[in-house]
């Protein structure tokens, strides 16, 4: 029997008409969820606000996950102007282990747009590209091939300092000639402190100037340092929020990689800046300071550490009655920093000093 073409067309039209309201309703639901997420303007990572309440933004995120298919989410993550919406749409794709997730992340590696992300009642800032890369790893969605591709991008693509994975890569990057020009570009063009540490591993005389100029920045207060970073680096597109250490601290870690004789006078100045005109303690900076001294592994380093603790002990602002048999609170603080530096580089050369001034008894 020959099919009745007009009848088939009519049946198709009826099916389409019946489905259209459902499709329109799904589209409206997705759009409403997006508008609500934009309104709250932060990513709810957990289904609780830390006080046993379900945040409204979490409800809207789940609505988007239920009603948007992969293709829609991919379009949202690529085209929506809201950083929060991009991050949430991309995260849903990753959690689904969608084939669209990895291409999306590699296409937005340069997206530095920041947003607020809340884990219960604890919130912090992140950027879209970094957030989605870390989500890929958390969800075990990065194959060996994708990992190699990412390493290649982190090394050879410029202006990716906003990605924590690049900082981790630089921490373990070997001092091989093939990487020298890459690392130097990262520091010179992007003012990347992690690149300065990696550059020091090459121990090339021409690069002492970079370590020296950043050791000298110890004179800047935190506020001044932020101002300096903006005024000198804004044209390079660098955002100081993604530098976990300031450049003086990075320079101290560079000295730990390369104990050059030229750096010694500035190490003495930095030590004195802890003590005068008032006694101060910066946990990370003092730890990196001891790491830098220990890299010299010499009588000079032993004397510097000994002198430092004696100066702290006898400082008028180090009240002797507070902690550890009259040693004073700052002896405690600096002793703890010495402990951390020693843990990272346990060296018998410094055993006696560590027994004397370390606080882990």
Pairing of strands 122-127, 43-44: unpaired
pLDDT, mean of residues 199-216: 97
Which of 121, 117, 131, 128 is CA-nearest to residue 80?
128
Could you give the CA distance from residue 202 to residue 207 in angstroms, rounded to a whole number? 9
Query: Taking a C-beta distance cutoff of 8 angstroms, is the pair 185, 210 a contact?
Result: no
What pLDDT score does 121 carry? 87
Give the bridge partners for 115, in sequence order. 126
Question: Could you give the C-alpha distances from 324 to 95, 281, 335, in angstroms and in order?
Answer: 51, 17, 11
Q: Where are the beta strands (DSSP E) in the chain?
A: 43-44, 114-119, 122-127
Given pLDDT bands bounded at 50, 70 and 90, which one contains residue 7?
low
Judge whether residue 238 has pLDDT over 70.
no
Could you give the CA distance from residue 331 to residue 309 in angstroms, rounded to a whole number? 7
What pLDDT score does 90 carry? 98
Q: Give the model confidence (pLDDT) of 21-74 as tens digits.
A: 667 787 889 999 999 999 988 999 998 888 888 999 999 999 999 999 999 999
- Provide DSSP, 45-105: -SS--SSS---HHHHHHHHHHHH--HHHHHHHHHH-S-HHHHHHHHHHHHHTT-TTHHHHH
| Phi/psi-derived region of residue 237, left when phi > 0, alpha when psi is between -120 and 50, beta in every other case | left
Question: Could you give the C-alpha distances from 171 to 175, 193, 214, in angstroms and in order?
Answer: 11, 11, 19
Angle of helix 5-40 relative to helix 83-95, nearest 10 degrees, comes to 120
What pLDDT score does 243 carry? 59
Most confident listed range (258-262, 281-285, 351-355)? 258-262
- Terminal alpha carbon distance of the chain: 96
């Amino acid at each position: 029997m020959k099919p009745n073409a007009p009848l088939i067309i009519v049946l198709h039209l009826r099916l389409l008409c019946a489905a259209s309201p459902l499709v329109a309703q799904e589209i409206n639901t997705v759009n409403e969820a997006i508008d609500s997420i934009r309104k709250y303007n932060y990513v709810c990572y957990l289904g609780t606000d830390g006080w046993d309440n379900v945040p409204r933004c979490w409800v809207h995120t789940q609505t988007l996950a239920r009603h948007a298919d992969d293709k829609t989410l991919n379009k949202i993550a690529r085209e929506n102007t809201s950083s929060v919406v991009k991050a949430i749409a991309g995260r849903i794709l990753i959690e689904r282990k969608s084939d669209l997730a990895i291409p999306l992340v590699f296409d937005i590696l340069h997206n530095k747009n920041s947003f607020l992300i809340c884990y219960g009642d604890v919130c912090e800032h992140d950027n879209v590209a970094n957030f989605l890369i870390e989500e890929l790893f958390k969800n075990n969605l990065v194959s060996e091939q994708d990992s190699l591709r990412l390493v290649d991008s982190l090394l050879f693509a410029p202006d990716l300092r906003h990605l924590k994975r690049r900082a981790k890569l630089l921490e373990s990057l070997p001092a091989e000639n093939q990487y020298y020009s890459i690392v130097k570009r990262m520091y010179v063009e992007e003012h990347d402190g992690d690149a300065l540490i990696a550059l020091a591993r090459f121990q090339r005389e021409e690069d002492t100037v970079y370590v020296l100029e950043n050791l000298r920045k110890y004179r800047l207060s935190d506020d001044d340092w932020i101002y300096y970073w903006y005024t000198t680096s804004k044209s390079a597109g660098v955002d100081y929020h993604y530098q976990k250490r300031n450049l003086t601290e990075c320079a101290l870690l560079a000295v730990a990689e390369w104990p050059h004789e030229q750096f010694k006078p500035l190490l003495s100045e930095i030590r004195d800046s802890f003590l005068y005109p008032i006694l101060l303690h910066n946990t990370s900076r003092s730890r990196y300071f001891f790491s830098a001294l220990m890299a010299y592994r010499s009588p000079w380093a032993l004397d510097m550490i000994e002198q430092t603790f004696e100066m702290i002990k006898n400082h008028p602002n180090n009240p002797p009655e507070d902690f550890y048999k009259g040693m004073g609170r700052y002896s405690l603080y600096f002793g703890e920093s010495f402990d951390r530096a020693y843990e990272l580089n346990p060296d018998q050369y410094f055993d006696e000093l560590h027994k004397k001034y370390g606080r882990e008894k």
